[in-house]
Amino acid sequence: MPDLLVNLLKLPPLQPMLDELNATGVTVRRAQPFEITPVRQFIESNFSVAWADEISAGMANKPVTVFIATRNRAVIGFAVYECTRKAFFGPAGVASDERGRGIGKALLIAALGGLRELGYAYAIIGAAGPVEFYTETVGATIIPDSEPGIYTDLLTSQ
Ligand SMILES: CC(C)(COP(=O)(O)OP(=O)(O)OC[C@H]1O[C@@H](n2cnc3c(N)ncnc32)[C@H](O)[C@@H]1OP(=O)(O)O)[C@@H](O)C(=O)NCCC(=O)NCCS
């Protein structure tokens, strides 16, 4: 899976997406350090232990570099940045029964906005799975010769 480059100076506006999701009962916000257990549990049961471990680094950043989506006070999605490498976005995921509602896009743009606030002009999406999702939502482009990237010689499956 290749790494992708995203121009952070051309991100679409986040607030209209947040307002639209809010109207359907979904909140997208930065996680809090005291929420690490429910966030990890969501990621472990829907994705992998390795992803839950990876986001734990973001929970220790100040500000926390983990965004979550919630409905009825339960986690339904997440997106993180600056966990494994500086300027990197990911991992990210939305519960399978909540996909296709704009939640992944809002989480992506919130997290990329966090990278822009740190001063970066470009972000790297590490080992992008659904490349089309990133090319369509934020105009990401494939970084040539970016495989294998940072996720090599792994102890656990991603
Ligand atoms: C990728 C993922 C986070 C997208 O979440 P989502 O909430 O379904 O995405 P959205 O509803 O915000 O989709 C936004 C747009 O991207 C498109 N899109 C969503 N998933 C896509 C995919 N896998 N491939 C191509 N396009 C996709 C949608 O059709 C939508 O287009 P539209 O605005 O024209 O309607 C979700 O499918 C997921 O959790 N996948 C499994 C984990 C994963 O692969 N994470 C990424 C690791 S790099």
pLDDT score, position 29: 98
Q: Cα(134) to centroid of ligand 1, in Å?
A: 8
Q: How far is CA 20 from CA 1, 28, 94, 106, in A?
A: 32, 11, 17, 10
What is the SS3 assignment for 111?
helix
How far is Cα 18 from Cα 38, in angstroms, rounded to an integer? 22
Please tell me what DSSP assigns to residue 121: S
Per-residue model confidence (pLDDT) at position 6: 98
- Cβ contact 86:119 at 8 Å: no
The per-residue pLDDT for range 105-137, each reduced to its tens digit, is 999 999 999 999 999 999 999 999 999 999 999
CATH architecture observed for domain 4-142: 3-Layer(aba) Sandwich (3.40)
Q: Which atom of ligand 1 is nearest to the CA of 100?
A: 11
Tokens of 62: 């100040």
Q: Residue 127, exposed/middle/buried by CB under 10 A (0-12, 13-18, 19+)? A: buried
- Distance of CA 137 from the midpoint of ligand 1 (Å): 9
Residue 156 clears pLDDT 90, i.e. is over it:
no
Each residue's pLDDT tens digit, 77-89: 999 999 999 999 9
Ligand 1 site residues (CB inside 6 A) read: 90-94, 99-105, 128-130, 132-133, 136-137
User: Residue type at 154?
Assistant: L
pTM: 0.97
**What integer pLDDT is reported at residue 119 of this predicted model?**
98
| Ligand 1, atom 8: closest residue by C-alpha | 99
Q: How far apart are CA 46 and CA 70, in angstroms?
A: 15
* CA 156 to centroid of ligand 1, rounded, Å: 24
The residue type of 123 is: A
Give the residue whose CA is nearest to atom 22 of ligand 1: 133
Instruction: Give, as one character, the DSSP assignment of residue 97.
Output: G
pLDDT of residue 157: 76
Confidence of residue 22 (pLDDT cuts 50, 70, 90): very high
CA of 153 to the centre of ligand 1 (A): 27
Per-residue pLDDT, averaged over 142-156, amounts to: 92
CA of 131 to the centre of ligand 1 (A): 10
**Is a pLDDT exceeding 90 seen at residue 99?**
yes
Q: Provide the residue type at 92 as one letter.
A: A
